[in-house]
Structure 1
C-alpha cells in the first residue's frame, strides 16, 4: 500500500507548460505530482496570456520571477539557474506536444506529456531516439493506468484465471458534445480542428486511454488487423470524428470491440473494460471504481473490492486509500507521477537494473497509442476497411 512516504532520494524540481487557470487537466497534474513529496513545483509557463499565467502561478505558490511567458523562456532562464527545473509536464493542446517535448529534451529536461503524445509515429520515434541519446525519461499520462483494480485484472489474466482470452470489449463515452458547436469554448474548438488536434478527435482524446489500459491487462496479445468506422454527427467537426467504433482481431484469435463517443446524449461519462476468457470474465468501470466484477462460468458472480486482502499483491501494492474509502482517478494520477519520478530517480543514479523491471507509461506506450491511431485513420479513410496493423 502506498502511504505518501517519499520513495526517491529528494523531490524533483518540476515545472509546467500549460495547465493554467483555463486548462482542463492542470489540476490533475498538480495534485498527482505533489502528493508523495516526489515533486516540487518551481516554475511554469501556464498560459498563452502571460499576465494571466503569472497571476495564476503566484496563487499556486510559484514566485513571480519563475512564471514565464512561454516554454522557450522557461527553458532558457531555468538553464541559467543552479537550482533550475529538472522535469517539465506538458499540458497543452496536441499540436504543441512535439515541439515542446523536443525542446525540453534538447535542454536536458525530463518530460511528462499529455496524450496523444504526438501526431505521427515518425515523430515519436525521433523523440524516443533523442531521449535515449540524452539519457532522459519521457512519461505519458494515461489517467487510470495507476488504479489498483487495473493491476488486479492484469494479475488475474497472467495467472490464467480467465483461461484463454476470447473477447475484449472497451467503451469510453459521454454526451457533453451532443449539441452543435455554436458558442463552444476553446477546449472543444482545438480538439475538433485537425491543425491543433491532429488526425482524430475522440479516438485520440479518449480512445487511446482504452487502448493503453487494454495493453496493460493483455500484454501478451497483439492486434493483427482492425476496422475503424468513424463519423462526425455534428458536421462542422468533420473530417474529425465525435463517434467511432473499432473492431480488432488479435493474434491469438480473440476479437475486440472499442466504442468511443462524445455524442452519447445523456451519458455523464462511461469508461468500461470487459475481458472474456474461456473460463471466466472480468469487468471494471470508472462508474464503480472500487469494484471489479468476476464471473466464473457455472459459479455465482463475485464483486471484488479494492484494498481487500484476497486481491493479488500487484493490486494491493499500488492501493492508496484502503478498502474503507473510494480509490479514484486522482489516486491513479498520483501513482503515475510516482512511477515516473522513480524512473527519473533511477536514471539519475544510473540504476539500469531498476529501469529494466520498472513499469510506467513511457514513450513507448505513447508511441503505441499513436500507432493505433494511425491504423484507425487508415482504415476509416479507406471506407471502414479491414487493414493489417502496422
Structure 2
C-alpha cells in the first residue's frame, strides 16, 4: 500500500510544456507528479501566448524568471543553471510532440509525453533510438494503466487463472462528439485537424488506450495482422474518423477487437476491456475502475474489489486508501508518475530496474505503429494487412 513515503532521495526538478489555463490535462499532470513528492515543478512554458503562460505559472508559484515564452528558450536557459530542470512533461497538441520530445532528449532531459508520441513509426523509432543514445527515460501518459485492478488482471492472467487466452474485446466509445462540437470548442477543434492531430482521430485519441491496457495485462500476445474500417459520421471531420472498428489476429491464434468512437450517443466514457480464456474471463470498465469482473465457466460471477487482501500483492502495492473507498483517475495517474520518477532516478544513478513496468518509449512506438497499420488497412478498403 502507498503511504506517501519517499520513493527517491529527492524530488526531480521538473517542468511542463503546455498544460496551461484551459488545458484539459494540465492539472492532472501536475496533481499526479506532485502527489508523492517525486517531482518539483520549478519551470514551465505553459502557453503559446507567453504573457498568459507567465501569469499562469506565477499562480502555480513558479518563479516568474522561470516561466518561459517557449520550450526552446526554456531548455536553453535551464541548461545554464546548476539547479536546472531534469525532466519535462509535454502536454501540447499532437503535432508538436515529436519536435519537443526530440529537443528535450537532446537537452539531456527525461520526458513524459502525451500520446501519440508522434505521427509515424519512423519518427517513433528515431525517438526510441535517441532516448537509448542519451540514456533518458521517456514515459507516455496512458493514464488508465495505473489503476490497481489493471495490475490485478495482469497477475491473474500471468498466473494462469484464465487458461489459454482466446479473445480480447476492447472499446473506448463515448458520445460527447456525436455532433460537430469542434465548431464551438477550441480544445476539440485541433483534434479533427489532420495537420495537428495526425492521420487519425479516435483511433489515436481513444483506441490506443485499451490497446495499451491489453499490452500491460497480456504482454505475451503479439499482433500478427489486422483489418480496420473507419467512418466520419460528422462529415466535416473527414478524412479523420470519428468511429472505427479493428479486428486483430495474434501470433498465438487469439483474436482481438477494438471499437473506437466519439459518436456513441449517450455513453459517458465507454472504455472496457474483456479477456476471454479457456477457463474464465475478466472484464474491466473504467467507469467502475475499482471493480474487476471475474467469470469462471459454470460458477457464479465474482466482482473483485480494489484494496481487498485477496488481491495479488502487486495489485495491493498500488493501493492508496484501503478497501471500500473509491479511487479514481487521479490515483491512476499518480501511480504512473511514481513509476516514471523511480525509473528516472534509477537511470540517474546508473541502475537498471528489471521488474518495473510503465508506459515507456516502447509503448509510445507501439501505439503509433497500431494507428499506422489501422489507417493503412482502412484506406485500402478495410482489408487484412500484415502487421508492420
Q: Which residue of 2 aligns with 1:123?
A: 123
1:145: Cα distance to partner?
A: 1.0
Q: Alpha-carbon deviations, 1:87-128, whole Å to 9, x = none?
A: 000000011001001111111111100001110111111111
- Select the residue among 373, 376, 379 that pairs with 1:375: 373
Preserved contact between residue 306 and residue 324 of structure 2 (Cα < 8 Å): no
Distance 1:389 1:129 in 2: 21
1:269: Cα distance to partner?
A: 1.1
1:227: Cα distance to partner?
A: 0.7
Distance 1:121 1:29 in 2: 26
Q: Which residue of 2 aligns with 1:249?
A: 249
Q: Which residue of 1 aligns with 2:201?
A: 201
After superposition, residues 358-369 of structure 1 pair within 5 angstroms as 358-369=356-367
SS in 1 for 2:24: coil
Q: Which residue of 1 aligns with 2:345?
A: 345
Distance 2:182 2:173 in 1: 22
1:73: Cα distance to partner?
A: 1.0
Q: Which residue of 2 aligns with 1:43?
A: 43
Q: Which residue of 2 aligns with 1:297?
A: 297
Preserved contact between residue 19 and residue 26 of structure 2 (Cα < 8 Å): yes
Distance 2:111 2:186 in 1: 25
Q: Which residue of 2 aligns with 1:59?
A: 59
1:182: Cα distance to partner?
A: 6.3
1:324: Cα distance to partner?
A: 2.2
Q: Alpha-carbon deviations, 1:327-356, whole Å to 9, x = none?
A: 21110100111101001100011012x2x3
Q: Alpha-carbon deviations, 1:145-168, whole Å to 9, x = none?
A: 111100100111111100111111
Distance 2:252 2:298 in 1: 25
Q: Alpha-carbon deviations, 1:253-273, whole Å to 9, x = none?
A: 111111011011121111111
Distance 1:351 1:189 in 2: 43
Distance 1:357 1:274 in 2: 25
Q: Alpha-carbon deviations, 1:69-101, whole Å to 9, x = none?
A: 110111111111111111000000011001001
Distance 2:65 2:316 in 1: 43
After superposition, residues 127-146 of structure 1 pair within 5 angstroms as 127-146=127-146
Q: Which residue of 2 aligns with 1:24?
A: 24
Q: Which residue of 2 aligns with 1:14?
A: 14
Q: 1:279 to 1:195 in 2, by over 3 A?
A: same
After superposition, residues 1-390 of structure 1 pair within 5 angstroms as 1-181=1-181, 183-352=183-352, 354=353, 356-390=354-388
1:188: Cα distance to partner?
A: 1.3
| Structure 2: runs of 5+ lacking an equivalent | none
Show structure 1 runs of 4+ deviating over 6 A. none
Q: Alpha-carbon deviations, 1:163-210, whole Å to 9, x = none?
A: 111111111111111112463322111111111001010110111111
Distance 2:164 2:357 in 1: 24
Q: 1:297 to 1:96 in 2, by over 3 A?
A: same
Greater mean deviation of Cα atoms: 1-10 or 342-351: 1-10
Preserved contact between residue 182 and residue 189 of structure 2 (Cα < 8 Å): no
Distance 1:138 1:194 in 2: 25
Distance 2:181 2:359 in 1: 33
Q: Alpha-carbon deviations, 1:282-319, whole Å to 9, x = none?
A: 11101211111111001111110011000111111111
SS in 2 for 1:335: helix
SS in 2 for 1:155: helix
1:223: Cα distance to partner?
A: 1.1
SS in 2 for 1:357: coil
Distance 1:342 1:330 in 2: 18
Distance 1:359 1:182 in 2: 36
1:57: Cα distance to partner?
A: 0.7
SS in 1 for 2:98: helix
TM value normalised by structure 1: 0.98
Distance 1:55 1:5 in 2: 33
Aligned length in residues: 388
Distance 2:147 2:172 in 1: 16
